[in-house]
Amino acid sequence: MRVSYDFRDSVVVVTGGGHGIGAGLCRAVAKAGGVAVSADIAPNSALSEIQAPGRIEVASVDVGNAQGIQGLLQETIGRYGKIDAFVQAAAIQPRQEIEEMSQETWLRVMDVNLNSLFYAGQVLMPHMKSRRAGAIVAFASGLAQTGWAKASGYATTKAALIAFIKSMAKEGLAYGVRANIIAPGITDTDLFTGPNNEQEQEFFRVRGGGVGTVAEVVPLLMFLISDASRSLTGALLSRDLIIHPPETADLKDQM
C-alpha cells in the first residue's frame, strides 16, 4: 500500500513555497525527482541547497502583483518549456475588525490571496490548455465556512477561491487541465501561530479538531498534482475538522 511518486521531468511552481506547507511540498517534489520553483515574497534560499534527485529553484515574487507572478510563470515556461503543476499556497491573514481595517489592507488581502490566482490563471490556462495537461491547486480554509472575527478579508478570499477553482476546472475540463482546492485543516505553520493568539491556538489544539502538521498535508498535495488524481477536478478536499466556531467557548470575549 506504499505510495511513491516519480516527478522526473516535472516542473511544479509553488507560491508561498518558501515556508510552511509550500516549502514542504517543494521538498517532496524535489525528493520525487522534479523541479520545484519555490516562489515567495520572503524567499528561502536554503531550499536551493537540499540534496535530492530533483531540485528546488528559489524565486522572489510578490504574487499580489500581476506582473510579478505572470513574469515568473513566463520565465519558467521559457526556461523549462512547460509548467506541469501550479500550487497557490501564498496567503496573508491580517487580523483586524472590519471598522479597523484600512481599505489598503483589505485590497492587499484580496490581491495576495485571491487575485493572484486570476493573474496566474491568465498565463497558466492558455499554456496548460495548449499542452492538454496541467494541474492547479489552491488552498481554502475552514474559515470560509465559519467566518472568523477579525479575519473577514482572509475568510472571504478562501470562500471565493472555491468558486474560482470550480470555474477554472470547468474551463479546463475539455483540455485535460485540472483545478482542485484543499482545505488543509489547522496546520502548525506561521499562518497558524502568527494570527491566532494563545487562547485561539489552545482552542484549536483542544476543541477545534486539533492541529495538524505539514507532513500530513504534503501527501495530499502530491496526490492532487500527480497523475494519481487525473480523474479529479473541481474538487474541494477537506481535512477541516472545525465543526463549530467557539460561540460559547471561554475565549469568546477575547475574540
Ligand X SMILES: NC(=O)c1ccc[n+]([C@@H]2O[C@H](COP(=O)([O-])OP(=O)(O)OC[C@H]3O[C@@H](n4cnc5c(N)ncnc54)[C@H](O)[C@@H]3O)[C@@H](O)[C@H]2O)c1
Q: Which residues bind ligand X (CB under 6 A)?
A: 15-16, 18-22, 40-42, 61-64, 89-92, 112, 139, 141, 184, 186-187, 189-192
Question: Which residue, 124, 116, 54, 137, is CA-closest to 82?
Answer: 124
Provide the minimum distance between the beta carbon of 91 and ligand X in the complex, in angstroms, as a whole number.
Answer: 3
When the beta carbons of 31 and 158 are compared against ligand X, the nearer one is 158
Provide the minimum distance between the beta carbon of 186 and ligand X in the complex, in angstroms, as a whole number.
Answer: 4
Residue pair 84/133 in contact by the 8 Å Cβ criterion:
yes
When the beta carbons of 17 and 34 are compared against ligand X, the nearer one is 17
The distance of Cα 55 from the centroid of its chain, to the nearest Å, equals: 20
Provide the minimum distance between the beta carbon of 116 and ligand X in the complex, in angstroms, as a whole number.
Answer: 7
Residue pair 113/89 in contact by the 8 Å Cβ criterion:
no
Residues paired with 39 in a beta bridge? 15, 59
Provide the minimum distance between the beta carbon of 121 and ligand X in the complex, in angstroms, as a whole number.
Answer: 16
Provide the minimum distance between the beta carbon of 238 and ligand X in the complex, in angstroms, as a whole number.
Answer: 10
DSSP H helical ranges for the chain: 20-31, 66-80, 103-109, 116-131, 143-146, 152-172, 190-193, 198-206, 214-225
Provide the minimum distance between the beta carbon of 210 and ligand X in the complex, in angstroms, as a whole number.
Answer: 11
When the beta carbons of 112 and 125 are compared against ligand X, the nearer one is 112
When the beta carbons of 125 and 155 are compared against ligand X, the nearer one is 155
When the beta carbons of 41 and 159 are compared against ligand X, the nearer one is 41
When the beta carbons of 37 and 91 are compared against ligand X, the nearer one is 91
Residue nearest to ligand X (CB): 20
Residue pair 37/17 in contact by the 8 Å Cβ criterion:
yes
Question: Which residue, 117, 217, 219, 221, is CA-closest to 169?
Answer: 117
- Rg of the chain taking only CA atoms, in angstroms: 18
Going by the DSSP 8-state scheme, the letter that residue 209 receives in this structure is: S
